[in-house]
Amino acid sequence: MKANQLSRLIQINHVLAKHRLDEVIKAIHLLRPLRYFSFLSPHRWRNKQSTLPRGERLRLALQDLGPIFVKFGQVLSTRRDLLPPDIANSLAKLQDQVAPFPAEQAKQLIDKAYEAESLNELFAHIEPEPLASASIAQVHAATLKNGEQVVIKLVRPGIEPIIKRDIALLYTLASFAERYWSEGKRLRPREIVAELEKNLFDELDMLREASSASQLQRNFEGTTLLYVPKIYWKLTKPNILVQERIYGTPISDTEGLIAKGVDMAKLAEMGVEIFFTQVFKHSFFHADMHPGNIMVDIHDPKKPKYVAVDFGIMGTLSPDDQRYLAENFLAFFNHDYRRVAELHVQSGWVPADTRLDEFEAAIRSVCEPIFARPLKEISFGQLLLRLFQTARRFNMEVQPQLVLLQKTLLNIEGLGRDLYPDLDLWKTAKPILETWMKEKMGWQAALRTLQQEAPHWAETLPEMPRLLYDLSKRAQEGQFNVNLASADIQQLRKEIKQASYRSAAVTAGAAFLVGAAVITGLDGYATTMFAGLPILSWVFGLWGLGLIYFSISKKS
């Protein structure tokens, strides 16, 4: 472990001790040797916050540890299938808000980005005070020379080294969790950290965010559901995003929306339609749809329109995941629990040897009490959450590609119910899913596939007779070989080889230690002594300890 990681680890231990999170210190293997120092901290005995619930103490600790740990807490808050409800609810309150960097520094960043052009030629005015400031970037209002109002999003200077340091430490902690925590391997914490790392570095790339906004804009072009601000590509750089400044009523201002005469039922149903359209029609969805990133255009209260901002985190699903999710949703609401169990096995979400009858019974025990309520009271997000919790008993592995989807679904559903408590989410979602299934699995889908593949078949079919003749001839002559060397086999060979090296190193190290002890115990053995022991004992002992340490460090 590097010196900067060790110092950061000590700081983490101090913050956890400050908030009396002893159970977290004990659970993290790497912090156990440091836990005794926590008793020397004056915060441990003077901190009045120690009487707060554990979820609140954890939230405050993550805030103290900085923006990267705040982001990590936000990712964890979406894993309600893994966390106790009190902790998940507290972590959901984490806000990615930090003090803004100085206006002069912001101006220097903008000057540097447009070094070939004068700012006076590009902008009529740039507001020195930011509109918003977060861990990755901050936003300034500006006016172009032609009078158009825009916002400038600047990546926070010096944030990348901080991200790399904390992500490296999180990987270390995740590795220890996988080794020493009974649930570690199944929950795949390193993949969760990898997902966080990908999201953070995606958010650093303003060109990527701009391209995501443009793609979302094209997807909803010609519809009245969602408006995406215009991107000014000529002014956008890797660390600067310039886009149209938009105005609207915050989605959380329900009283204001009602006062303006907005049809709240229609607005809630539109939000659900936007989500399912993104997921199942476009396979590209805004994955950070919290109230701060959504506004409503109410120029015509009878025809409201959603306005989205902040496209740093976007989600995608593979065609297989789309199909399994759509079939799962439809099977749920048709009470076809056998099909739900089969889909989980077919998708690889649970092991292939899972007993379908037992899994079906477990799913039924979860779903039937929920479906006994009116449809408008059923929560899609909570249904998925309960299902994942049940599937844990059948060794269901965490699916990182579904984490963003689950988080976004919970956000959308919560917003919809805040706008219109009687929202029947299934009434809105079912037609979208059924239409998608017909498009993907009906005769029209088969016809489209034939049309897409026809040019390829026309090119390869004439070669088929010759290829079949060559294949049969090689088989007759005994020249037909099947290559079974896959990447997994190569990885297995590598791990076996490394394990043999470690075993040999441990054996040799133990032999040297035994040799050192034997030389020390020889009666009357005359040799050069150091600190009461023969020099050769020191050499053998240190060499043996070195070999053992080498084998253990390689394993970790």
| Residues belonging to the active site | 288
The dihedrals phi and psi of 125, each to the nearest 5 degrees, come to: -160, 140
Task: Tokens for 513, please give them.
Answer: 């230690």
Q: With CA atoms as reference, report the closest residue to 527 among 515, 518, 536.
A: 536
Alpha carbon distance 338, 320 (integer Å):
19
Residue 136 assigned to a binding site: yes
Residue 133 assigned to a binding site: yes
CA torsion sign for 536, 538, 541, 546 is: negative
- By residue count, the chain amounts to 556
The dihedrals phi and psi of 483, each to the nearest 5 degrees, come to: -90, 110
Alpha carbon distance 322, 12 (integer Å):
40
Task: Tokens for 327, please give them.
Answer: 């079939």
Residue 131 assigned to a binding site: yes
User: Environment class of residue 482 by beta-carbon count within 10 Å: exposed (0-12), middle (13-18) or buried (19+)?
Assistant: exposed
For residue 259, the tally of other CB atoms under 10 A from its CB is 11
Residue 138 assigned to a binding site: yes
Residue 153 assigned to a binding site: yes
Task: Tokens for 223, please give them.
Answer: 């519809």
Alpha carbon distance 278, 317 (integer Å):
10
Are the C-beta atoms of 79 and 410 separated by less than 8 Å?
no
Task: Tokens for 346, please give them.
Answer: 């077919």
Q: How far from 38 is each of 12, 62, 181, 232, CA to CA, in Å?
A: 11, 17, 23, 52
Q: With CA atoms as reference, report the closest residue to 276 among 291, 286, 266, 265.
A: 286
| DSSP element (H, E) containing 170 | helix 159-180
Q: Which residues pair with 250 in a beta bridge?
A: 295
| DSSP element (H, E) containing 123 | strand 123-126
Task: Tokens for 312, please give them.
Answer: 């740093």
Alpha carbon distance 461, 68 (integer Å):
55
Residue 50 assigned to a binding site: no
| DSSP element (H, E) containing 284 | strand 284-286
Helices assigned H by DSSP within 220-261: 254-259
Annotated binding site for ATP, which residues? 131-139, 153
